[in-house]
């Protein structure tokens, strides 16, 4: 099942869902940064064996041991799940974490995000792949990617001071992010050299021969526009 089917089908709120369904949804929105942890893997295994209470406790331990601030939705969904299983102590603990977030971070953490507090003014965030995929899907629709796929080449799509250059090659898609330059010698600053995979097929490695060829073609295309970039 596509992850986008989940977005379309999710009409129920946690109060209307079974504990198993709440746990699956909560696991889905855990950022990949935490998914190699023993607690997360334990939670997945417990859920597969219908040990819902242990699956919930493993997620709580994962978040607590990290020391990071998981989203309010994460904690509220687990609290609802615990209440459905009459795990009052765990439910109360989860709701206390929402208060902790508000007290120590001072702003809400969106669903599928975590907040890492570096100091009183600096924060880092981890974001679940399912959330980033949703953003990508929305951007592809806005950029009419389906139409772009009909003809190979480069296409520039701007969103204010940032944007994407799409490279289409026989159904494959490479996305090159850019932002407007603040210096007169460049029009755009491109984020090309750190690209390692194709966007479509998702995650397919971009080998060095292809990357070199695309870079040369991109430079020719930019020169013809003309667009000055730091890639030159």
Instruction: Report the alpha-carbon distance of residue 120 to residue 22 in Å, rounded.
Output: 33
- Has residue 16 got a pLDDT over 90? no
Instruction: Report the alpha-carbon distance of residue 213 to residue 194 in Å, rounded.
Output: 15
* DSSP symbols for 17-50: S-HHHHHHHHHHTS-GGGTTSHHHHHHHHHHHTT
Q: In the chain, what percentage of residues exceed pLDDT 70?
A: 95
Q: What is the pLDDT of residue 12?
A: 64
| pLDDT classification of 15: cutoffs 50, 70, 90 | confident
- Has residue 2 got a pLDDT over 50? no
- Could you report the per-residue pLDDT of 144-172, keeping only the tens digit for each? 999 999 999 999 999 989 999 999 999 99
- Has residue 8 got a pLDDT over 50? no
Which positions ≥6 away from 165 have C-beta within 8 Å? Answer: 154, 155, 156, 157, 175, 176, 178, 190, 218
Dihedral sign (CA 64, 69, 74, 78):
positive
Instruction: Give the global pTM.
Output: 0.80
The pLDDT of 106-131, averaged and rounded, is 94
- Has residue 232 got a pLDDT over 70? yes
Q: What is the pLDDT of residue 76?
A: 97
Q: What is the pLDDT of residue 40?
A: 98
- Has residue 206 got a pLDDT over 80? yes
- Could you report the per-residue pLDDT of 31-89, keeping only the tens digit for each? 999 999 999 999 999 999 999 999 999 999 999 999 999 999 999 999 999 999 999 99
Order the strands of the 153-159 sheet from edge to edge.
153-159, 162-169, 172-180, 188-191
**What tokens were used for 230?**
């730091």
- Has residue 5 got a pLDDT over 60? no
The pLDDT of 111-123, averaged and rounded, is 94
C-alpha separations of 127 from 167, 180, 200, 215 in Å: 26, 25, 20, 29
Average pLDDT in the chain: 93
């Amino acid at each position: 099942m596509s992850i986008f089917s989940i977005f379309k089908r999710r009409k129920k709120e946690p109060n209307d869902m079974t504990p198993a369904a709440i746990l699956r949804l909560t696991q889905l929105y855990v950022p990949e940064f935490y998914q190699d942890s023993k607690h997360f893997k334990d939670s997945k295994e417990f859920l597969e064996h219908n040990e819902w209470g242990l699956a919930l406790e493993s997620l709580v331990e994962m978040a607590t041991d990290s020391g990071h601030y998981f989203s309010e939705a994460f904690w509220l969904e687990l609290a609802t799940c615990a209440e459905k299983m009459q795990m009052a102590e765990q439910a109360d603990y989860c709701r206390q974490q929402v208060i902790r977030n508000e007290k120590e971070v001072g702003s809400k953490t969106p669903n599928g995000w975590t907040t890492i507090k570096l100091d009183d003014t600096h924060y880092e965030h981890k974001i679940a792949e399912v959330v980033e995929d949703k953003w990508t899907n929305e951007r592809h629709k806005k950029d009419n990617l389906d139409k772009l796929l009909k003809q190979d080449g480069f296409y520039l799509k701007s969103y204010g001071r940032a944007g994407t250059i799409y490279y289409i090659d026989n159904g494959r898609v490479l996305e090159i992010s850019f932002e407007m330059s603040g210096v007169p010698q460049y029009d755009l600053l491109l984020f090309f050299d750190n690209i390692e995979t194709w966007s479509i097929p998702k995650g397919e490695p971009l080998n060095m021969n292809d990357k070199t060829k695309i870079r040369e073609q991109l430079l020719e295309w930019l020169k013809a526009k003309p667009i000055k970039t730091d890639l030159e």
